[in-house]
Amino acid sequence: MSNYTPTTTAGTTRRRAKSITINNPAHPLIAPEPVLTYDPDNPDSPPVMKTPEMPVASVTFVMEDRIILSDDSEIFVPAGNLIIKLDADTLAKSYPSVDVETGIVNDTEARYGTQIVQMIVGALEDVFVTEAMAFDATK
């Protein structure tokens, strides 16, 4: 399991989010029509009508490992992406409060995905609109 808490000891590694991207797709004005689909793994199966899924917002965490070398220098190694779909299951899930400095998980201060998304997106909307309006005023 990866270490997610800060460390300064030579020879240790910490996994961190290098960058975070929020994908906020627009929904079509008209729901997509069902389409006839085939099972590519079973060519003898009958076709089935399926309605394409609506776009779902997501958050992508670009991860990297920070490795402290014996001379106290450090290197950063890409560690892949963690993509979280902000679907009904994620929004209904309870997330405990985690002390990033110690790694201690506090279940008594848990929040639901909906609360977290509303808090973060609401704050970012405030920043976006305020800064965009200031930018527009300079034109």
pLDDT tens track for 30-39: 777 888 888 8
> Does residue 38 form part of some domain?
no
Q: Is residue 123 part of a domain?
A: yes
Other Cβ atoms closer than 10 A to 59: 18
Contact 69, 77 (CB under 8 A): no
Q: What is the pLDDT, as a whole number, of residue 35?
A: 87
Strand partners, 45: none
Same domain, 132 and 105: yes
Identify whether residues 110 and 57 lie together within a single domain: no
Task: Tell me, yes or no, whether 134 and 101 share the same domain.
Answer: yes
- In the DSSP assignment, the letter for residue 32 is P
Q: Cα(72)–Cα(70) distance, rounded to whole angstroms?
A: 5
Q: Are residues 106 and 130 in the same domain?
A: yes
The structure's pTM equals 0.76
Q: Say yes or no: 7 and 68 in one domain.
A: yes
Q: Are residues 78 and 95 in the same domain?
A: no
User: Do 97 and 114 have their domain in common?
Assistant: yes
Say what the pLDDT of residue 116 is. Answer: 95
Same domain, 124 and 97: yes
Q: Are residues 68 and 6 in the same domain?
A: yes
The residue among 28 and 124 whose pLDDT is bigger is 124
pLDDT tens-digit map of 86-114: 999 999 999 999 998 998 999 888 999 99
Buried b (16+ CB within 10 A) or exposed e, 17-33: eeeeeeeeeeeeeeeee
- Asked if residue 97 and residue 80 are part of one domain, the reply reads no
Angstrom distance (rounded) from CA 50 to CA 35: 5
Enclosing domain of residue 12: 1-25+52-86
What's the total number of domains in the chain? Answer: 2
Domain-located, residue 32: no
Pair 62, 114 in one domain: no
Q: Are residues 128 and 75 in the same domain?
A: no
pLDDT for residue 64: 98
